[in-house]
A and B are shown apart, each in its own frame.
Chain A
């Protein structure tokens, strides 16, 4: 007796729980691998899984086993030249670890030193962002209309034509037609029957007046049936929308980068990673994240993402031009009461000396009061220049919301990123 069962439609991911338990248990190991990966990888391909290796000894499940030593007998196949009594030198260094005696006894496989597996993309990102939190994430008050989301909420009898529910309207119409025609139809059937009866009577007994009368009645009823409208305004149904207020978790991130001649390609690569990490981070945490790319040399310009990272410019550096532009953009498009505003700036620290002072004033007076957070990374192995020192005084004014760090090489980036965005047990609220 045999049954066939198609189990394919059954629930997938039966092992998902076990998998999660495993990842949870070896969190530390996996995190280390992920951190290495983030440093090593080009960030453009951050969006994929990662192969993780954990030393087998760390995850082994111990059982009583024979250790090396003592006398062991091993039967092996494939003898070619040995005869009884031959003596063979011990194969180098191996204490008989992979002897045939274990033949198929272990299902752990090859006894590699590393247990390797692949994290999915989601799991990978989960680990990358583990423990990070956007600083000072404020719920912006529900002021504007834009913060209201319309959700479908049943049907109503009135509304705009664009929101007509055709199926529901037709159904209503159908019901109404049936209801309205029923009594007329009944009367019609009666009249028809009466007419028939009358006509079947002997010609002598017929009442011609009655026949005429009935015929007129039938005609009238048929007309009435036809007159029942196919669809009536009464039938129309509209999808109803109701306004649901949504807490604002929209953010805009200004990426500001120096693209002057003093920024080498290496500098830009590092800056690029920083921005990309930020971008991924934000995307993960906000429902809606807008990005504004501002690059500058002596003059600042808002550019597309593509242009921001991949086109070349030369010239001197005036940082304040960028700050000015950021401020203008905020005024024009991102009112601070509706948006969480973040600025991330990357530079090699070069600036016209006079300008650094302007930058500081501008930050303190205009920008910082509107921003949630300002992160500045300086990519240079050299001594700091005037810009850094001016920024230090800004940081003095806003220790909570202004962060600055120095990066020397690509591998620093992840640590700095973590440090800047470390979960702050909100002093804010």
Chain B
């Protein structure tokens, strides 16, 4: 480039004026690309504050719990040893969208983080269907404040220890505190606080009702385990349908509404943990997309800054180095290998979509007839808005990306002596690879499928859950501590049955030594 460039700033020092300049520039570019974002709230913070933010899993206001302390210590240790940079990552799905800049970052880093977080992640939060459906960016911060205050109050009233134990139990189940199929009602701190007391009273009566009244028994109901024989129960008091009528996957919700012995404040805390799990649910399902999208945009925007002469070569080189480090994918046999890097995979796919749009090959026309040669920006927007990792990979992972990453599929079956290479990046393998990778990102497969099937409301009040095995994979040993926590919440025996294609493979129960009179 021959024309003299006039960088906004050079060197690695920054100040607020410079940052504002860059931000204006980035905003203008983002506008040009029609990135739709929430307003940005960019907060400059210290290293320690960054570690705090990390430790509280990115909640700007968190309630107190030892596990966050543990996180903090781990982050601090890793950071001190230099194992970990603290630059990217932290951006909060809220309106305005809060992003953190660490004070000791260089100018390049600050600009990069702004491009990545304030325009990349931000637009993803605003656009992606999961976030739109599951989270309330407008009210999350208020809700967090409510949660923190409520839990602090409970600690004052009922003791730190009691609250901690309850939270431990809830945390163990928080991945099962999500309604997967229906949109939760919006949350707002003010309303929460207002409604909370009402709810307390109401919930309790509901629970009582559940345990007191006996619904009409359906005529063909099978006798429940633990129920009595006709002779011993002439009035049919112990008959009735199974409760709940359908299996429940939202364990925490079920606990909140039905656990017989929980006090109202305990139900409220269960609810808080559940609501927060719900808030993080979309993030857990869109890691590849979210990071890929943000990387795509920081890469695009930084290059535009350079093309327009707003940054100098030094800054650009520094950027490229750090970008390369972020999207680096070590091979499976490298000592640095730690699974597939979501940044690398996501970035590769989004870049590839653009390539398919702009310069499709014959292969692309075959594989992606509907997007090859279309305007890339609209296609990219479509991809960002309407998918989650699982479906995104299924839809957009191209043979070229598989070849570039040299993906291969291994099947590890404990019935066979050896591992099998089931597919590689070749003509026969593409589809199978793509399916397998897609499933690898499906939460429903990543996490064991556990559901409540029955609460013995007429029997011994025990709770029964089914674990439906996927490819014969059993539960890890952590199952015992988890059902112990479940038992703490439920208050009566908990049974967990592992099923493989309808066949019972394992029964777990807590308490392990049953002292109650179980049916023979």
Contacts and interface: CB of A to CB of B under 8 A. Distances in A.
Interface stretch (B129-137, B237-245, B415-423): B415-423
Contacts of B80: 118
B365 interface: no
A71 interface: yes
A371 to B, nearest CB: 42
Contact of A73 (B41, B76, B407, B440): B440
A101 B337 CA distance: 13
Contact of A71 (B45, B174, B428, B472): B472
Interface in A40-99: 59-80, 82-90, 96, 99
A69 B470 CA distance: 11
Nearest to A78: B331
A84 B420 CA distance: 8
A6 B100 CA distance: 10
Contacts of B433: 75
B422 A117 contact: no
Contact of A15 (B45, B52, B174, B176): B52
Interface string B309-335: 000000000000000000001111110
A73 B436 CA distance: 7
A108 B405 CA distance: 26
A70 B472 CA distance: 4
B359 interface: no
B261 interface: no
Interface residues of A, number: 68
Contacts of A90: 412, 417-419
A19 B64 CA distance: 9
A355 B30 CA distance: 92
B408 A79 contact: yes
Interface in B114-153: 118
A80 to B, nearest CB: 7
Contacts of A144: none
B78 A69 contact: no
Nearest to B102: A8
Most buried by A among B67, B175, B469: B67
Contacts of B19: 4
B458 interface: no
B40 A1 contact: yes
A260 B40 CA distance: 75
B358 interface: no
B394 interface: no
B25 to A, nearest CB: 12
A82 B174 CA distance: 40
Interface in B470-511: 470-482, 485
Given A71-B414, A77-B331, A86-B420, A21 B64 contact: yes
Contact of A75 (B96, B407, B426): B407
A23 B69 contact: yes
B326 to A, nearest CB: 13
B332 A77 contact: yes
Contacts, number: 283
B49 interface: yes
Contacts of B440: 73-75, 100-101, 103
Nearest to A5: B43
B68 interface: yes
Nearest to A89: B418
Given A4-B19, A77-B407, A84-B422, A67 B436 contact: no
Contacts of A82: 408, 421, 424
A2 B42 contact: yes
A66 B408 contact: no
A372 to B, nearest CB: 37
Contacts of A84: 421-424, 426, 428-429
Contacts of A25: 66, 164
A188 B353 CA distance: 92
A4 B70 contact: no
B16 A4 contact: yes
A22 interface: yes
B69 A18 contact: yes
Contacts of B352: none
A410 B51 CA distance: 39
Contact of A64 (B23, B56, B479): B479
B133 to A, nearest CB: 22
B58 to A, nearest CB: 11
A64 B444 CA distance: 12
Interface in B3-52: 16, 19-20, 23, 27, 39-46, 48-49, 51-52
B408 A7 contact: no
B16 A78 contact: no
A65 B118 contact: no
A25 to B, nearest CB: 5
A87 B418 contact: yes
11 contacts: A2-B40, A2-B41, A8-B46, A15-B69, A21-B69, A64-B175, A64-B478, A74-B440, A75-B408, A90-B417, A115-B74
Given A65-B475, A82-B421, 10 more contacts: A21-B69, A64-B447, A70-B469, A73-B412, A75-B410, A79-B408, A85-B420, A86-B421, A89-B418, A116-B77
5 nearest A-B residue pairs (beta carbon): A78-B331, A103-B339, A22-B69, A70-B473, A18-B69
